[in-house]
Structure 1
Amino acid sequence: MNKIYDVIIAGAGSSGAVAAISAARNGASVLLIDKNGYPGGMNTAGMVCPIMTFHAGDRQIIKGIPQEIIDVLIERGASLGHVPDPIGVVSSITPIEPEILKLVYFEMLAKLPNITVLFHTFICDTVVENGVVKSIQVVSKSGLASYQGKTFIDATGDGDVASFCKADFHMGRSSDGFSQPMTLMFQVGGVDIKKVIAYVKSNPEQFILNKDCDIDKYLAVSGFFDIVNTARINGDLTIPRDRVLFFQGMHPGTIVVNMTRITKLRGTNAKELTTAEFNSHNQISEIMLFFRKYLPGFANCHLLSAADTIGVRESRRICGDYTLTIDDVVNGVCFEDSIAMCAFPIDIHDPIGNDLNWVRKSRTCCYDIPYRVMMPKKLKNLLVTGRCISATHEAMASSRISATAMAIGQAAGLAAALESRDICDFRQTDVKVLQDKLIKQGAVVGKAWLD
């Protein structure tokens, strides 16, 4: 007879891996499935770093398992910890080394004997009866297989499981359906950081800067606006970006670049994803030529690595029992059923153009993530975690960040472990019990619980 897992989690990214650890630590038998050959998702395969953000002003709003992971990285020299954001978008950013983060996730998962992991495996279908997910079907080099579970967590980022369960969802902005652009991150070496810092200090009007930060200690750049315009006029830069955006790496002379931009393609369509990979790699070649020709400190730079996969900012967003809105984000709303927090502004990369727009009241603003945004309508035993929670296009532009995804994952994993012992209906969860257990396990569940 096939084993029935307490919790089946699709997606081992920042939210799914933390959910698996959380569920297993709370006694559940867990099956964790991912398309990649390693955990970490966008922070490892996508090279998305630094991680943002654990703080709202001086208050740390993300703790628990996410902080535990950062602590291990710090011990291994693979993170600087939480440092002030030189650009000033958020209160703190957390530089990490993605390759070491992979190892940390591997070790944490391996320590829990009640977690079974399947990598190189794709979800391809589900079986649902009367709103209850009974099983998921997967495909891999081994062929087709089916796995039964009591509770399920969709941490795919794209809402793949929810979609196969015929859950309702939205995609893109309401005006035209276009989602935020995709970006392929890449790492560059041979950068003369001191020359870059000297130029920034001499031309502050060309950069978005947090004047309270010491960029001699850690450098992040959002700017070179005039140089970008000159290169564009000269025909040396054609990508739809209005600025240079990069962060200092963990090793001398290295930076992590967030500049490629692929618009009007869908992260849920294999052909369009393939086109996105071709186009983004071509953009890297163009950017490297631009760097060497135009930017101070970049004359001898070289490409170290490109991310294994393009980063998808937005795809499906489930229709949940509650939908997070732009007003919730901007006004820092509290919820009685809060299970995590976020202090990232609404950060919208123009779906069809060059611009990057932030909406917020201040860097110290934060808001609660309610439990209900994880529950797809009409489905009883499925939670959705990570960037495909129930949120509007604008609200998702804030809530999608890694630190908050990790915190939501911890809550999802605990909720699934609790429900798998009883009636397996997430709408019957005693949220007060869930909140109390999260707090005892080191998490911060909402503004009302901040010190």
Structure 2
Amino acid sequence: MTPTTVRLPARDVPVHGEYEVVVIGGGPAGVMAAAAAARAGRSTLLIERYGFLGGAGTMGGLSTFCGLHARMHGEDTRVIRGLADDLLDRMERLDALNPPHLSVDNRILAQAFDISSYKIALDDLMLAAGAELLFHASVQGVVMADESRIDGVVVESKSGAALVRGRVFVDGSGDADVAAWAGAPFERSEHLLYPSLMFRINGVHPEEAGEAWRIVRRLMEEAEAAGTHRFPRKKPIVRPQRNPLEWRANLTQLSNADGSAIDGTDVRQLTRGELQGRRQVQDAFAFIRAVTPGFQDSYIVDIAPQIGIRETRRIIGAYQLTEADVLGCADFDDTIGVNGWPVEAHVQGDVEFRFAPADSRGYNQLPYRMLVPGRVENLLVAGRCASMTQGGQSSGRVTGPCFAMGQAAGTAADLALDAGIAVRAIDTATLQRRLEEDGVFLGGEASRIRPVAEAAPVS
């Protein structure tokens, strides 16, 4: 009988380098963590498995910033500030941003961007901050100094295996990879949020297409009602990009044979999701091109390099952000930023949105404790794998709050190193003061936070 396991030989690997702060993952949380730590003067390495930064916004083809804004007492207001201002300014100079547009039945703002320009702006942000980048390198394990401290992370690349040593680590992997390998407690939902595969359409006639995002949804619903077509999920998103000849499409939903969501930590399921996603893209585009005015000469210009995973592992930290916190606009004494996005639950066949009350301030604060895992003293976890329940994560996983978590993590790493203490022991009042000095909005209705003058009618 063929054995089901084999023992690989032990090996000696070189040390790639030693850094004060090591950030794993170049998504929105990771880039802000690395930028904040490097700007504070810390030797900082950001490790990214692709050859570019941006996470879901680039490799996932998302091309839209969600969660930068909140509807504060009826006024649409950008509430994600600090390093995000620097990034958006760089993108403005590249002419890479659409004006914010009303999304989700006109109840919240989102902002479309050009993916290629986003990659360039992130490169510039990192290099200007003084962070070192290591592309095409995948973190595959950890080496522990003792039960509560990470000594280094093992990276695999075309150059082979190597160890990256650090004093403080930030897990921005999205899947809590480093936290899990280091022994930090985590959880996984019984029913995961469903992933999607994004694609972009070019060759659209914008004058004829008009507000086609309204038409596409209606046409798809009518076709399903008539029994001529069956689509994987309701509430499709099809909207124009920076150049109105190009539109983005978010309307797939990826599942296993039993109907469960694809698990982004299972390579076989990931493979199934990629194949299934491209079939769904082909079918959905054929329908859109055939029935939507202005799309008759269009074509698929890009399918995202990877399916977009919404949820896998989430750490169980010092506090778990909940759906009740989101909908109740919760306050926290250790706030490190805010989140104004609604609960966005991708359930089987549909997307369910739940909002804070219409007359509320429209955002919850984010506590520092949600970044602090159990057991590991020199690790912070930021992004969609931070300490949240599934309901809280359905809101807090989008770009805006991930920017806020990342900047806080990088700043907290600097404070912990300065004091020579565990990351959980830093003085949060000092962290808050530093963040406010760097322009972050922590949740008071400060005078510098102004409503968006006018949302773009199309974008």
Check the 8 A contact 2:23/2:34 in 1, yes or no. yes
Match of 2:391 in 1: 394
Distance 1:133 1:448, change over 3 A: farther
Distance 1:160 1:450, change over 3 A: farther
Give the CA deviation at 1:110.
2.2
Residues 356-403 of structure 1: CA deviation (Å, up to 9, x unaligned): 333432385100000000111111110000111111111111001101
SS of structure 2 residue aligned to 1:421: helix
Distance 1:338 1:242, change over 3 A: same
Give the CA deviation at 1:450.
6.5
Match of 1:242 in 2: 234
How many residues are matched?
423
Distance 1:89 1:256, change over 3 A: same
Match of 2:139 in 1: 123
Match of 1:73 in 2: 91
Check the 8 A contact 1:342/1:368 in 2, yes or no. yes
Distance 1:256 1:404 in 2: 23
Match of 2:186 in 1: 169
Q: Give 2:97's aligned amino acid.
A: S
SS of structure 1 residue aligned to 2:237: strand
The structure 1 residue matched to 2:79, chosen from 56, 61, 66, is 61
SS of structure 2 residue aligned to 1:276: helix
Deviates more, 1:245-254 or 1:355-364: 355-364
Residues 147-194 of structure 1: CA deviation (Å, up to 9, x unaligned): 11110000011111111112221222xxxx121111111110122333
Check the 8 A contact 2:234/2:349 in 1, yes or no. no
The structure 2 residue matched to 1:325, chosen from 322, 338, 344, is 322
SS of structure 2 residue aligned to 1:94: strand
Give the CA deviation at 1:422.
2.9
* TM-score between the two structures when normalised by the length of structure 2: 0.87
Give the CA deviation at 1:279.
0.7
SS of structure 1 residue aligned to 2:141: strand
Give the CA deviation at 1:431.
0.6
- The RMSD of aligned alpha carbons is 2.0
Distance 1:224 1:356, change over 3 A: farther
Equivalent residues in 2 for 1:369-448 (5 A)?
369-447=366-444
Give the CA deviation at 1:95.
1.7
Distance 1:450 1:337 in 2: 21
Distance 1:196 1:381 in 2: 53
2:357 pairs with 1:361: yes
Check the 8 A contact 2:59/2:306 in 1, yes or no. yes
Deviates more, 1:57-66 or 1:308-317: 57-66
2:195 pairs with 1:182: yes
* TM-score between the two structures when normalised by the length of structure 1: 0.89
The structure 1 residue matched to 2:275, chosen from 275, 278, 281, is 278
SS of structure 1 residue aligned to 2:65: coil
SS of structure 1 residue aligned to 2:333: coil
Give the CA deviation at 1:89.
5.3
Check the 8 A contact 2:98/2:241 in 1, yes or no. no
Match of 1:37 in 2: 51
Q: Unaligned stretches of 5+ in structure 1?
A: 201-220
Check the 8 A contact 1:7/1:29 in 2, yes or no. yes
Match of 1:259 in 2: 251
Distance 1:41 1:403 in 2: 13
Distance 1:261 1:223 in 2: 20
Match of 2:163 in 1: 146
Check the 8 A contact 2:198/2:303 in 1, yes or no. yes
Q: Give 1:367's aligned amino acid.
A: N
2:212 pairs with 1:196: no
Check the 8 A contact 2:329/2:362 in 1, yes or no. yes
Q: Give 2:353's aligned amino acid.
A: N
Q: Give 1:70's aligned amino acid.
A: L
Distance 1:61 1:226 in 2: 33
Distance 1:387 1:449, change over 3 A: farther
Q: Give 1:149's aligned amino acid.
A: G
Equivalent residues in 2 for 1:294-313 (5 A)?
294-313=291-310
SS of structure 1 residue aligned to 2:210: helix
Match of 2:346 in 1: 349
Give the CA deviation at 1:236.
5.4
